[in-house]
Amino acid sequence: MTAAAEKTNLLGMPKSKLEAFFESLGEKRFRATQILQWIHQRGIDDFDQMSNVSKALREKLKVVAEIRGPEVVYDETSKDGTRKWVMRMDNGNSVETVLIPDGERGTLCVSSQIGCSLDCTFCSTGKRGFNRNLTAAEIIGQVWVARKAFMPFDNGSDRPITNVVMMGMGEPLLNFDNVVDAMNLMMEDLAYGISKRRVTLSTSGVVPALDRLGEVTDVSIAISLHAPNDELRNQLVPLNKKYPISELLAATRRYLSGLPDKRKATIEYTVIEGVNDQPEHARQLVGLLRGLPCKINLIPFNPFPESDFKRPSMNATRRFQTVLNEAGYVTTIRTTRGDDIDAACGQLVGRVEDRTRRSQRYIQVQQVNP
């Protein structure tokens, strides 16, 4: 093993872990406060630039620690202002991160895994198979890179990232501890200081992990529902066979009722032509969600080569929305952003050295049925 490999990467450590790290070095806990600010608020990765840290401690840190973010291999801005980064994580693997500016808001869409082990039929990430979980440093590293791109931001006036959604590649609840550490850094005042209402974890429904989440944090949640009954959801989201809709919505209720404030869940519904886009589906959805504090986000399906599904017409999506609106639900249709640079929902694939045989299977199927 090389010396560099033994160094502790401080980038992914939330305050409590940094404090423990400094104590283990025989240093005072308040060093954690200084280091957090240098790393996350000033974007500094060089100990020598940390002017309020003594020279002796800086020398010590250089030996045992490092601040190492992901390597940016692609950075492109779309015609509509959406910016996409491809970040290399290790040999052959990379993930994608997208910043969507919208007026005063800037929403960063962050990845949690290299690929995804779940295999939702409408999702291109799933089709590429799975390699591994991202570390906390690799998750918060995406926010760090994106924020550094807008330096200088130390006077507080330039805050390009106001919201974070864990809606990039991967299922965040299957990488629980690292995602929680990274989200804690997003919300930490000494780091990014984003309100818990503006940090959203999106899940396809890992029910036991959703219950655990409620015990350790109070971020906002988005539930990837996509279908109003189990029969259809089993086809779109295979995880539904393990945790059916009734259990998922019960866990969602438990999570919301455990929050200290009144908040709604976001229900995500990818609308696919001829599959789940009929007014009858919308009526079923209304019945299903009765009594659940939620808003509904309709996402017109974004096509990709390995899928036969089609994007619905805007009329069909609006017709669906009208049924929900008339039943009193706040419903938005997510506009497609950044599709000229493949940054839209469901188009994020990165480069996944697949450990499952799934990607191979889909590519073969495609070659047989082009």
Q: What is the DSSP letter of 367?
A: H
Q: Which residue number has the CB closest to ligand SAH?
A: 346
Say whether residue 331 binds ligand SAH (CB under 6 A): no
User: Smaller CB distance to ligand SF4: residue 124 or 331?
Assistant: 124
Binding mask 259-278 for ligand SAH (x = CB under 6 A): ---------x-x--------
Among 346, 319, 348, 321, which Cα is nearest to 333's? Answer: 321
CA distances from 184 to 22, 36, 176, 288, 357 (A): 19, 12, 12, 32, 34
Sign of the C-alpha dihedral, residues 169, 229, 359, 341?
negative
Structure-block tokens of residue 339: 């599709």
34 binds, among ligand SF4, ligand SAH, none (CB under 5 to 8 A by kind): none
Is residue 27 annotated as a catalytic residue, yes or no? no
Minimum distance from residue 75 beta carbon to ligand SAH (Å): 22
User: Smaller CB distance to ligand SAH: residue 78 or 124?
Assistant: 124
Q: What is the DSSP letter of 157?
A: S
CA 229/CA 302 separation, integer angstroms:
22
CA 136/CA 105 separation, integer angstroms:
25
Stretch near ligand SAH under the rule CB under 6 A, chosen from 183-191, 200-208, 246-254, 287-295: 200-208
Minimum distance from residue 190 beta carbon to ligand SAH (Å): 28
Q: Which residue intervals of 27-135 are DSSP H helices?
A: 31-36, 55-64, 124-127
CA 255/CA 248 separation, integer angstroms:
11
CA 136/CA 198 separation, integer angstroms:
19
Minimum distance from residue 368 beta carbon to ligand SF4 (Å): 22
CA 227/CA 320 separation, integer angstroms:
13
- 61 exposed, middle or buried (CB, 10 Å; 0-12, 13-18, 19+)? buried
CA 173/CA 177 separation, integer angstroms:
9
The answer to the question of whether 214 is labelled as a binding residue is: no
Stretch near ligand SF4 under the rule CB under 6 A, chosen from 74-82, 122-130, 212-220, 249-257: 122-130
User: Smaller CB distance to ligand SF4: residue 123 or 140?
Assistant: 123
188 binds, among ligand SAH, ligand SF4, none (CB under 5 to 8 A by kind): none
Binding mask 192-231 for ligand SF4 (x = CB under 6 A): ------------x-------------------x-------
Minimum distance from residue 160 beta carbon to ligand SF4 (Å): 25
Say whether residue 118 binds ligand SF4 (CB under 6 A): yes
Instruction: Evaluate the omega torsion of the peptide bond into residue 305 and state whether it is cis, within 30 degrees of 0.
Output: no
Structure-block tokens of residue 46: 């060089």
The answer to the question of whether 294 is labelled as a binding residue is: no
Stretch near ligand SF4 under the rule CB under 6 A, chosen from 86-94, 116-124, 247-255, 295-303: 116-124
State the number of CA atoms in the 13 A half-sphere of 121 facing the CB: 17
Among 305, 245, 241, which Cα is nearest to 269's? Answer: 245
Of the candidates 38, 192, 301, 362, which one interacts with ligand SAH according to CB under 6 A? 301
Is residue 345 annotated as a catalytic residue, yes or no? yes
CA 266/CA 223 separation, integer angstroms:
6
Cβ proximity of 125 and 349 under 8 Å: yes
CA 99/CA 115 separation, integer angstroms:
19
Minimum distance from residue 207 beta carbon to ligand SAH (Å): 14
236 binds, among ligand SF4, ligand SAH, none (CB under 5 to 8 A by kind): none
100 binds, among ligand SF4, ligand SAH, none (CB under 5 to 8 A by kind): none
Of the candidates 123, 219, 227, 341, which one interacts with ligand SF4 according to CB under 6 A? 123
- Contacts with ligand SAH by CB under 6 A lie at 122-124, 167, 171, 202-204, 224, 268, 270, 299, 301-302, 345-346
- Contacts with ligand SF4 by CB under 6 A lie at 116, 118-120, 123, 125-126, 170-171, 204, 224
* Active-site annotation, residues: 96, 345
